[in-house]
Structures are given as structure tokens and as C-alpha cells.
Chains A and B, each alone.
Chain A
């Protein structure tokens, strides 16, 4: 047992080692074997991390939470140490992310088997996995930031995996820059906290918050800076653009991005919540961000015609609910929702990946009638949908129910947000299900064989997990017994789900005219389809501002600063040219000038004596 705990620092290292070992193949130093060994190495490494995490969970269950610290840098009064907090919750979430990563990598073995850069993909996945598990276990804000940035980097590289495509280039750029905005703000918060509190370990910060006397304005700014990081990571308004563009990347990475990565960001937020309470305004901002994203992204998702994007917006919406839960100080709800959402969302993205793999198409208007040809994929999609919606008692149902129950008395509006998200997301799931799986086969979906076992096994494994999740939750008594719940709340929840399902089936869907012919409806559709024109808005504001400023400074540089320099140069050259004609060659006048000059100097230096 002690042995496992002592070596727990290996958990983030496994993925890193896998990534490093894959480098000879990724850089094509080894060509004889093909890229597959790199793939196997990384799957084994992730499996090791998962198993190690599971064993640790078992150990910690009996011994209680453990903290393992490592000195990293102590210099000039600044103490930066990395430490891992082996608590039950952390380890459960480690199990979740590592397990999902393992399944996604197995899935990737099938999905990318024909890609020439397979080794690079797996190296990046290993790196990705290392950063995620590190963030989950980390018990200091400093190491969390350290790893979050590694996550940003690996997201950039994974989104930019197929770097020859123009859309991928902008997607990778936007993913990096929007996250980077959040990260730089988080870094500011980090520096401020480090200066005020002296330590960046979460425990010390929690202690410090209790009796910190800090000006309200400073507290608010610090709080806002702290939540900016998770806002960017979780693709929340206003930093949500990247997730939808990131869907240009390979599907196995999309699975992780929509489940594990956003979970990671929200998990950091939950860890920060006891610090953020230092400013009540920040909590309100959290609720506002969460509610705006939840409703807005759910609506936007409805108008998407790209298979993956329809659900990437839904991911933002669900994490928005997590933000609401954190803002109202119900971390239990947030954790449950995160967990249930992550597994079900991963399942949805696995089925999407299977369809995209088989049809080489992710345009919803060109898909249809797949259910009989790809039964396993259809089942996967349905299971994922069950896990995500609050109709039947699977994963998210309980999370929603708990949330509504807790918010019932104090925040009726937020209860409405929960119900609306449930309604809209059910509607969206049914809409997409009808378009892709039901109906007649389309031109591009006539020949659609089921995917191979490398992809099917992870899909089935996760489906079973989603189905048994409620029993598992009951087993570890994370769920209160059903009679405890407010029946009115449950009825409303189920009602909103059923309404969504019904409307989803009733809604007329026409593939040929996916853009409505009714003018007001078309306007709304365009508005939603273009994400409320957020991208345009950014282009007109932030991007334009920066580019104008940079053009301005370049102009100043070229014409004002350099202009002045060149002007001085030109004047002195010109002066020299013209002065050379004034030299007469008479030595008397030279001597006279020198004597006058020296006299003047003597006069000036001895001025005080006079």
C-alpha cells in the first residue's frame, strides 16, 4: 500500500514517458517497424496509469486521504512545490479521465490506423493524458497552472494534427489563443495570490481566505482572474469559440476534449471555489457565465448541421450548468454532473466518430438511415443520449434532480435554466438521431458497414458503464434515496425531457431545405447557426483592436522613431556637406576659433568663482 502511495507521482509520468518513447517513431527516426509500436507503448502506459490509480483508490479508501509533496524550487523566499493530493474524489476523477483516455486511445487505434502520423498522434495523446491526470491530482495552484498550460499546448497540437487543412489552422490558432487569454488572466491571479497568501497550496489558500483582509476591489479582480482560466478551458461564454472549431481535429481527440478536458477545467474551478468565495461578485459572475452559456449554447446546438459541432455546443451548455452549481456553492452537484456528463458525452462522441469513420462525412444533411447498418453505433448513441438527459433515471438525470432540488427554494430562475437545458438537449439529441440514424439512406450512407472491433469494444464497454452507473452511485451512497427527492421537481424534470423528445419527433425535418424558407425563422436559424455571430463580433472588436494597435506601433516605429533617427542622420550628413564649403583653409581663423572656444569653456567652468 505504502509502496503504491510513494510511487504515486508516477501517474502523470506514465503518459509523459509514453509520449517520449513514441518520439523516435513520431520523428521518423525509426521507419522499419512502422508507427504501431508507438501506439502500443502509449496504450500500455495509459493502462498502467489507470490501474495504478484504481489500486490507489482502493488503498486510500481504507487509509484516508494522503498528500505526497515534492520540492521543486525554493528560491529567495519563494517556495514552489508540487504535491499530489490522493483523496477519494481526486482518485475517482483520475479513474474517470484515465479510463476515458484509455478507451479513447483504443478507439484511436482503429480510427487512425491508416493515418501516416499515427505515432505523433499517440505521442500527443500520452502528453495529453499526463497533463490531465496531473491537473486532477495536483494539490497546489502552481502545479495546476503548470499542467493546465501543458494541456493548452497539447490541445493546440492535437487540434492542429491535420495541419495541412485551412480550417484546422484557424481552429488550432483559436484554441490556443482563447485558452491563452484565460490562462494569462489565471496567471495574474496566481501571482497576486502568491504575493498575498505566500503559498499556493490549496490547503494554505483555504486557510488564508478565512481571515484575509484584502480590499474588495482587489478581491473581486483576483476572483475574476482565477475563474478566467477555467472559463477558457471549459469553453464558456465569452471564451467558448475554440471548442466548436476544435471539432476539426481527429475524433478520438474530440472524445477526450469534450469529456476529459472540459472536466479537467471545471474540476480546477471546483478546487478553486473555496478561494473564489472571497468575492461574492465573482460567484455571481460564475452563475451568470454558466447560465448564459447553458441556455445560449443549447440553442446554438439546435441549429448546427455539423455532426460534431451540434454536440460540442451541448458540452459547453452542460459545463455551464456545472458553473452554475459552483457559483451557488453546491460542489456536490457539480461533481456528480461532471462525472455523469463526461462518460455519456464520450459515448456520444464515440458513436459520432464511428459514423464519420465509416461515411467520411459529418454533415447532418447528408446522413441518414444508418441504424440498421450500424446497430452497435446506434445503440451507443442511444445509451449516450439516455445518460445525458433527464428522462429515464440514468447518470445526468440524478445530477439534474439533485441540482433542481437544491436550487428549488433559493434560485427558481436557475431551476428554469436546468429544465430548459434538459429540454433543449433532449430535443437536439432526438433531432440528430432522426437525421442520422432514422429515415431513408442517403447517397453517402448506402454502404456503411459497422466499425471494427478496435472501435466497437471501447464503445460497448463505455455503454455498459453508463447503464450501470446509477447502481454504482447508489452503491457508494453518493445518491440520496428516491423518496428524499422533491416529487414536483422530478415531475418537472421528466416532463421537460418528455416534451423535448416529443417535440424532437414532431419537428418537421427536411434535409434539402435545412435552411428554413420562413423569413423570421430563417433569421433565428442563421443567428443560432452562426453562434450569435460571436466570431464576427470578436473579429470586429478584439482582433481588430490588436491588429490596429500593432499596425500603429509598426507605423510609429517606421516613420516616427526611425524617421527621427534617419532625419538626424540626414541632417548631420547634410550639415557636414554644406559646412565643408565654409572651411577657408586659413590657419589664423582656425586658431582664433579654438582660442575663443577654450576661453568660453574656461569662463563657463569657472563661472562660480566670479
Chain B
């Protein structure tokens, strides 16, 4: 199983001299995807703990071991990573300096997978940092006009986040007095509440930069705008999830008591982040910036659900990570196609792209679906993940949940504005420079551009209509993630649902709590 990471690392330097680099990368990532699928097939969904544990001693004196493992939280994220890396390699063609480009892409793929799988704090940190440099280079070399500024901003922000995380990990291990950095939920048990709170605060800010949460988010729109389409897909779809994954695994997982104490405040922070991101998205005139700010809003839901810390809301966080990964990747893909065909992403310029024959009707239709998925229209994955987030969070953070739901309404406002401006209306004739006009006929969108977006749409629909296909992988882990959860308010209601759910822990707990 951890061969997966190893395989990638060992294969990334395979640089064939020619354009076949892309095919090499595709094959590597394809194999990776297949291996992930095999992993999924062998995954035991009734086991809530780690599976496929692999442990190699590396630098014992430092407490660093190469230990990997997967559970119901990491598994879907690993799958998303494999999928989106494949997609972004697929949609990159004709790039300059292909050898470096694909090598960096593969490096990101393996680093992110490693971070999701790492069961050692230091190892996680190493992978977390490892992903940073390639992405910096990918933005700085293959980005847009202000790529230097954006890439440096990204680098400084994320490096800062890395330092905070490292500091918190070191502090935790030193204070707890163990010599090993291995992941262990009981690590913080011996610490006083004050120490826990400080360490947790540092960690939250560290991951908050990565997620990003208001006010640490400004690197994201800049990075997205300057990054090329495949990078935006990766950044929104996978890399942001490192932050939320860290939040869940290391903040909630290591400091449950301190987290509980802070949770109302964190939920209000989520409210601010959601509303701020959504409102800022309305004011944007660049399509990519709009999608980027929508990410700020949607990642706020994850903080909300994590702060609520009920079995349902923890499930919601994972579900929302997957759903946001798929939907934002789809949106960036489509914006990328629009940019490629029209040469602009400016909402004040684009009009009537839905026009048949001359416009981009197919991409427009997919964009409508993507926007609706993001706005939480049922039938697509965005709805069920948001519903579970809200339903789970309401139990412990009621007012904050209701405020966050307003963000769900605002999502439809900005995406609708975008669709109305860009795709509806008349496709105008452009001035030809001599006083007359020429009919605008946009180039046809090839199937190569359509297939990745269609695949994502199909996945979004499949999981939206049958969310059980997705939740079954996560449920046992997320249920046991909140070990001594006792539903404070709604114990009667929970019991009626819980009795049907005999296999899970929460069912048993809910039954107990009702007596």
C-alpha cells in the first residue's frame, strides 16, 4: 500500500527525452489511480481504525518514522488526489519545459498522498512542506502576468503555516515527554488545558492559512488567478484539503478537550469566513477570483462542522471536502476552457457564450450544473454534503449553523450572476477595427477538453444521487472519531435514528444516551 507513494517518488525522475513526457506522467498517474482503486477495493469498511499500516524506522533519534496508514477520513481524500492529479496532467498539453513541469506535478501528487497517509507528525510536516516547493515553481514559471507576486505570496504564507505547524508539533511532543512523533490521539492527554489551548491555537492558525480562513485567505485568489488551469484544479481540489484534513486529524484528533472548549468561537469564525467569502465573491469581476472566493466560503462550512464535533458533522466535514474538491475542480476546469477559447475571464466583457453553433453551449450547460452543484441543489453531491454539515452542526452550534446557511443562499447569488452575465444574453459581434463588425465564432471545444469535465459531472451526480456509495467508506471512522460523544439536546430524536443503525458505534451510544 505505501508502495503507492514510493512508486511515485521512484518514478517521477523518469524523464523520457521528448513530448512523451506527458504520456509518461499520464501512465504513472494512471497506474497510481488504479492502485488507489485497488486500495479502495481492499479497504475494510467496518474497521474504524487505520488499515494497511506500514512502518519503517527512519531517523529513530529524531522520533521520525516512515509510517503510513489509511482510514475512512484519509481514503476519500487520497482517491480525490489521485483522480484530480490525473485530470490535471490530462488537461495540460503543450506546456513549456515539459520535463520539469510533469516532474513537479508528480512530486505534488506523491507529497499530497503522503501527507494524507502519514501517521507520524514529522513525516506529515515533511510531506506538507514537500508539496509547497513544486507548487511555488509551477505558479512562478507557468503562471500568468503577476505570477511572481502571487507565487511569492503563496510561498510566504504557506511556509509560515508550515512553521506554525512544526512549532506546535514540537511543542506537543516536548511537553508530553514522549520521544516519538508517531500520531497518537492520547498525546495531549497529560497536558494542562492552558498548554493545550496555546498549542491548538497555533495549529489552527497554521492550518487556517492553508484552508484558507478569513483573514488569512488573500493568498488564494492571487494564486488562483495567476496559476494555470491544471494548477488551479489541483490547488482548489486537493491542496486546500490538506488544511482541513490537518484541522480534523491534528486539531480535533489531538486536542479534543481544548477543541470542545473553543468550538463556539471557532463556529463563529466559520460564520465570518463563510459570509465574508460569499460576499466578496459577489463583488468579483474575474471568473477565477469568484470561484476562489467561493472556496473561502465553502471551506468555512468545514470549520463549522469540525467545530460542532458530532458524529454526523465530522462525517459532513469529510463529505464536504470531497464535494468541494470535485465541484471546485470542475468550476476551474470550465473557467479554464472559457479562458482558452475567449482569451478573457472578465465578467464585464463576456456575454452570450451559450449561443449555439458560435458559442460554447456545452461548456455553458456544464457550468450551469457546476454552479447548481455548488449552490447545493439536490441530486448533486453539494446538497447532501451541505445538508449533513448543517444537520450535524445544528445539534451543538445552532445559531452559527443558521448563519452559515445564509452563505448557501449567497452562493447561488454569485454563481447565478456569473452565468447570467457570461453565458446568457447575445453573443455580440466584435469590432473589426475598420468600423464594421465581425461575427464572433468561438473555436470548437474538443472532446479532450470536454471529457474531464464530463467525468467530474458524472461523479458529482452519482454521489449526489447515491451518497451511500461515498459515506460507507467513511462512516465507521468518523463515528469513532468522537469517542465519548453524548448528544446533549436531542437524545430522543437520535435514538429513533440510531436504532436503525445498529452496526455503528454512534447507534449504540445514542441508544445509551437516551436512557
Whether a CB of chain A sits under 8 angstroms from the CB of B379 is yes
Whether a CB of chain A sits under 8 angstroms from the CB of B164 is no
Known contacts A74-B500, A78-B388, A561-B218; is-contact A173 B416 (Cβ 8 Å): yes
What are the interface flags for B275-318 relative to A under an 8 Å C-beta threshold, 1 for contact and 0 otherwise? 01001111110000000000000000000000000011001000
A169 touches B218 (CB 8 A): no
Nearest opposing residue in chain A for B355, CB measure: A164
What are the interface flags for B5-45 relative to A under an 8 Å C-beta threshold, 1 for contact and 0 otherwise? 00000000000000000000000000000000000000000
What are the interface flags for A139-160 relative to B under an 8 Å C-beta threshold, 1 for contact and 0 otherwise? 0000001110110110001001
How far apart sit A198 and B279, CA to CA, in the bound complex (Å)?
Answer: 33
Q: How many A-B pairs fall under 8 Å by CB?
A: 166
Interface residues of B in 454-509 (CB under 8 A from A): 467-468, 471, 475, 478-479, 489-490, 492-498, 500-501, 504, 506-507
Whether a CB of chain A sits under 8 angstroms from the CB of B354 is yes
Residues of A within 8 A of B405 (CB): 184, 187-188, 191
Q: Max chain B CB contacts within 10 Å: which of A145, A177, A191?
A: A191
How far apart sit A310 and B510, CA to CA, in the bound complex (Å)?
Answer: 56
How far apart sit A553 and B465, CA to CA, in the bound complex (Å)?
Answer: 36
Residues of B within 8 A of A565 (CB): 153, 218
What are the interface flags for B410-429 relative to A under an 8 Å C-beta threshold, 1 for contact and 0 otherwise? 10110011001001111000
Nearest Cβ in chain A — how far from B76, in angstroms? 14
Nearest Cβ in chain B — how far from A106, in angstroms? 26
Stretch at the interface among A37-45, A333-341, A520-528, A542-550: A542-550
Stretch at the interface among B58-66, B394-402, B434-442: B394-402
A78 touches B284 (CB 8 A): no
A194 touches B391 (CB 8 A): yes
Residues of A within 8 A of B361 (CB): 27
B276 touches A199 (CB 8 A): no
Q: Per a CB cutoff under 8 Å, which of B390, B410, B420, B497 touches A191?
A: B390
What are the interface flags for A426-460 relative to B under an 8 Å C-beta threshold, 1 for contact and 0 otherwise? 00000000000000000000000000000000000
B394 touches A191 (CB 8 A): yes
Could you tell me how many residues of chain B have their Cβ less than 8 Å away from some Cβ of chain A?
75
Nearest Cβ in chain A — how far from B237, in angstroms? 23
What are the interface flags for A182-202 relative to B under an 8 Å C-beta threshold, 1 for contact and 0 otherwise? 001001100110111111000
Nearest Cβ in chain B — how far from A99, in angstroms? 25
Whether a CB of chain B sits under 8 angstroms from the CB of A507 is no
Whether a CB of chain B sits under 8 angstroms from the CB of A181 is yes
Known contacts A76-B506, A163-B425, A169-B424; is-contact A546 B215 (Cβ 8 Å): no
Q: Per a CB cutoff under 8 Å, which of B377, B475, B500 touches A149?
A: B377
Known contacts A187-B390, A191-B405, A550-B282; is-contact A146 B315 (Cβ 8 Å): no
How far apart sit A149 and B408, CA to CA, in the bound complex (Å)?
Answer: 13
Residues of B within 8 A of A552 (CB): 279
Q: Per a CB cutoff under 8 Å, which of A72, A153, A198 touches B492?
A: A198
Whether a CB of chain A sits under 8 angstroms from the CB of B111 is no
Whether a CB of chain B sits under 8 angstroms from the CB of A166 is yes
Q: Max chain B CB contacts within 10 Å: which of A152, A163, A168, A169?
A: A163
A146 touches B379 (CB 8 A): yes
How far apart sit A463 and B464, CA to CA, in the bound complex (Å)?
Answer: 42
Whether a CB of chain A sits under 8 angstroms from the CB of B189 is no
What are the interface flags for B321-347 relative to A under an 8 Å C-beta threshold, 1 for contact and 0 otherwise? 000000000000000000000000000
B497 touches A77 (CB 8 A): yes
How far apart sit A549 and B272, CA to CA, in the bound complex (Å)?
Answer: 13
Nearest opposing residue in chain A for B405, CB measure: A188
Nearest Cβ in chain B — how far from A209, in angstroms? 14
How far apart sit A177 and B410, CA to CA, in the bound complex (Å)?
Answer: 9
Known contacts A145-B378, A554-B280; is-contact A188 B479 (Cβ 8 Å): no
How far apart sit A117 and B355, CA to CA, in the bound complex (Å)?
Answer: 11
What are the interface flags for B341-381 relative to A under an 8 Å C-beta threshold, 1 for contact and 0 otherwise? 00000000000101110000110010010001001011100
How far apart sit A117 and B357, CA to CA, in the bound complex (Å)?
Answer: 12
Nearest opposing residue in chain B for A26, CB measure: B365
Known contacts A77-B312, A149-B378; is-contact A198 B467 (Cβ 8 Å): no
Nearest Cβ in chain B — how far from A555, in angstroms? 8
B504 touches A76 (CB 8 A): yes
Q: Per a CB cutoff under 8 Å, which of A157, A187, A188, A562 touches B218?
A: A562
Residues of A within 8 A of B276 (CB): 553
Residues of B within 8 A of A169 (CB): 420, 424-425
Interface residues of A in 164-179 (CB under 8 A from B): 164, 166, 168-169, 172-173, 176-177
Residues of B within 8 A of A203 (CB): none
B282 touches A546 (CB 8 A): yes
How far apart sit A11 and B346, CA to CA, in the bound complex (Å)?
Answer: 44
Whether a CB of chain A sits under 8 angstroms from the CB of B406 is yes
B394 touches A173 (CB 8 A): no
B394 touches A180 (CB 8 A): no
A187 touches B408 (CB 8 A): yes
Nearest Cβ in chain A — how far from B174, in angstroms? 13
B420 touches A554 (CB 8 A): no
A172 touches B424 (CB 8 A): yes
A195 touches B395 (CB 8 A): yes
Whether a CB of chain A sits under 8 angstroms from the CB of B431 is no
A73 touches B494 (CB 8 A): no
What are the interface flags for A303-320 relative to B under an 8 Å C-beta threshold, 1 for contact and 0 otherwise? 000000000000000000
Q: Per a CB cutoff under 8 Å, which of B311, B410, B420, B425 touches A76?
A: B311
How far apart sit A145 and B394, CA to CA, in the bound complex (Å)?
Answer: 18
A549 touches B471 (CB 8 A): no
A-B contacts, 25 of them at CB < 8 A, read A27-B361, A73-B384, A73-B467, A75-B315, A75-B475, A75-B501, A76-B506, A77-B312, A78-B388, A117-B356, A169-B424, A180-B409, A187-B408, A188-B402, A194-B391, A195-B391, A195-B493, A196-B493, A198-B490, A550-B279, A550-B281, A561-B214, A561-B217, A562-B218, A565-B218
Report, nearest first, the 9 A-B pairs whose CB atoms are least far apart. Answer: A198-B493, A554-B283, A550-B282, A184-B409, A163-B424, A146-B378, A550-B283, A553-B279, A76-B311
Can you add 19 more A-B contacts, CB < 8 Å, to A76-B312, A77-B312, A164-B352?
A: A74-B501, A76-B475, A76-B479, A77-B501, A77-B510, A78-B388, A145-B378, A146-B383, A149-B383, A172-B424, A177-B412, A177-B416, A194-B391, A195-B394, A198-B492, A199-B496, A550-B280, A553-B279, A557-B218
